[in-house]
Structure 1
């Protein structure tokens, strides 16, 4: 019985940790964009999608665990989160490779949402002057890693947490 409680507690902690980790990761990206002024490229935006899909699944996993719904629901949600984070890691590896010049990026690699102007009188000239960022150039590197590189590390860590929680079985 103690093992069942321990496995249940581990799944709950994993669900909470991975969901908070995903919220923190995508929240940081949004913070760099809206507060720091780093306009994301098309691949940067694409790397956020696994988070946007997995965060609601994480909330479901937390609810299923805390309300003692069937164990398979929590475990399935954690597996889905783990798979989404592996997809996110793959997208990050692809984008990092584009930045390092290991392979070419997509031909249409620019964002469709350039910086918004607050001056209506110069809107048309601003639209022509603003150049969306290229996927080939890292906007910022911290300890040698770009945002895409850090996303790989975060995604792999979050996938590990999700899979660990999903793998806990009562003895």
Structure 2
């Protein structure tokens, strides 16, 4: 694996840590600059990146191979949540009722009105942005799972 020798172990870890930080910063950019409010599943894709970034910092300053595997787990978890979100967006399966519609239409009009008024503004099954036919959740799957693979490669390469 000569390509891995381009950077040192700590440089790879710093790069992977920066990747997770920039994934969250990018999401914040879409949220605060692009005025695209995130849905519940969007938030759930962010949290594991903080785990990956924190584990990268710990791996550099404290040491220990376990932090590299925790970084891989964080990135992979974000990718798996992104895959679930992709399925909800594409209609492959139902999403959480709290962000994918799921209103019950039986009962009085007052009940229906209360459901509408308490429904979340941002739906998990809507795609607010696409590039080349892929949504943000789709890109998160691809990039996060690739990063998770690199975390594992770094952990195994630099034992």
If the length of structure 1 is used for normalisation, what is the TM-score?
0.74
| Runs of 5+ unmatched residues, structure 2 | 101-116
Residue number in structure 2 paired with 1:26: 24
8 Å contact from structure 1 (residues 82, 159) kept in 2 = yes
CA spacing shift, 1:169–1:42, aligned 2, 3 Å: closer
Give how far 1:10 is off: 3.5
Residue number in structure 2 paired with 1:84: 74
Aligned residues: 139
Alpha-carbon distance in 2 for matches of 1:12, 1:131: 42
What is the SS of the residue equivalent to 2:130?
Answer: coil
Give how far 1:59 is off: 1.0
Residue number in structure 2 paired with 1:165: 154
CA spacing shift, 1:104–1:131, aligned 2, 3 Å: closer
8 Å contact from structure 1 (residues 22, 55) kept in 2 = yes
Q: What is the alpha-carbon root mean square deviation over aligned residues? A: 2.2
| Runs of 5+ unmatched residues, structure 1 | 1-5, 111-127
CA spacing shift, 1:169–1:15, aligned 2, 3 Å: closer
> 1:44 and 2:33 equivalent?
no
Give how far 1:88 is off: 0.9
Runs of 4 or more, structure 1, over 2 Å off, are none
Given the alignment, which residue of 127, 135, 148 partners 2:137? 148
Alpha-carbon distance in 2 for matches of 1:86, 1:169: 20
Give runs of aligned pairs for residues 69-80 of structure 1, distance below 5 A: 69=63, 73=64, 75-80=65-70
Given the alignment, which residue of 93, 96, 103 partners 2:83? 93
8 Å contact from structure 2 (residues 9, 158) kept in 1 = no
What is the SS of the residue equivalent to 2:132?
Answer: coil
8 Å contact from structure 1 (residues 93, 148) kept in 2 = yes
